[in-house]
C-alpha cells in the first residue's frame, strides 16, 4: 500500500510547516492527487490517521481533491480528460497522447486554528 509512504510524506511536510507557527493547531490538510497515481482515497485517509497519532497532526482532517487524467492529442490537437488506461483521443480516437494532467501529487494548503485574537 503506497498510500502509507505518501501519508508519511504529507505529515512530515505539514509538521515542518507548522513549526513556523508554534501556537497554531492543524485542522485540515488539503492535497491534490492525480488519478494517474492510482491512490485509493480511503486508504490514504486511513494511513494519515494512523501515522499522525501522537503527533501535532493528530485529529486533523485530510481533504483529498482528485485530478482527472487529461491529455493533448498529438494528431488533431484535441485536449481534455481521458479514461485510463485507454489513453485515446476523445475526438479522433488516436492513441498518440501527451499527458497534461493527472500525475499531480502535492500538498495544496493547510488550515490552522490559532489562539491569537483576530483584529477586526
Please indicate whether residue 110 or residue 11 has the higher confidence score (pLDDT): 11
Could you tell me where the beta strands, DSSP code E, fall in the chain? 25-34, 61-67, 70-73, 79-81, 97-101, 105-113
Of 67, 60, 59, whose CA–CA distance to 41 is shortest?
67
Stated as kind and residue range, the H or E segment containing 52 is helix 41-52
pLDDT digit string, tens, across residues 13-54 = 999 999 998 888 999 999 999 998 889 999 999 999 999 999
Contact by Cβ (8 Å): 53, 59: no
Cβ atoms < 10 Å from Cβ of 45: 16
- Give the global pTM: 0.78
Q: How confident is the model at residue 112 (pLDDT cuts 50, 70, 90)?
A: confident
Percent share of the chain, pLDDT over 90: 61
Amino acid at each position: 500500500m503506497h498510500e502509507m509512504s505518501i501519508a508519511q510524506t504529507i505529515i512530515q511536510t505539514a509538521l515542518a510547516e507548522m513549526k513556523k507557527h508554534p501556537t497554531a493547531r492543524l485542522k485540515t490538510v488539503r492535497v491534490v492527487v492525480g488519478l494517474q497515481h492510482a491512490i485509493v482515497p480511503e486508504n490514504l485517509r486511513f494511513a494519515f490517521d494512523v501515522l499522525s497519532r501522537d503527533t501535532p497532526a493528530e485529529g486533523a482532517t485530510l481533504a483529498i481533491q482528485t485530478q482527472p487524467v487529461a491529455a493533448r492529442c498529438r494528431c488533431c490537437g484535441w485536449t481534455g480528460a481521458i479514461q485510463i488506461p485507454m489513453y485515446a483521443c476523445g475526438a479522433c480516437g488516436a492513441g498518440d497522447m501527451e499527458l497534461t494532467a493527472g500525475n499531480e501529487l502535492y500538498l495544496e494548503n493547510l488550515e490552522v486554528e490559532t489562539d491569537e485574537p483576530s483584529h477586526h
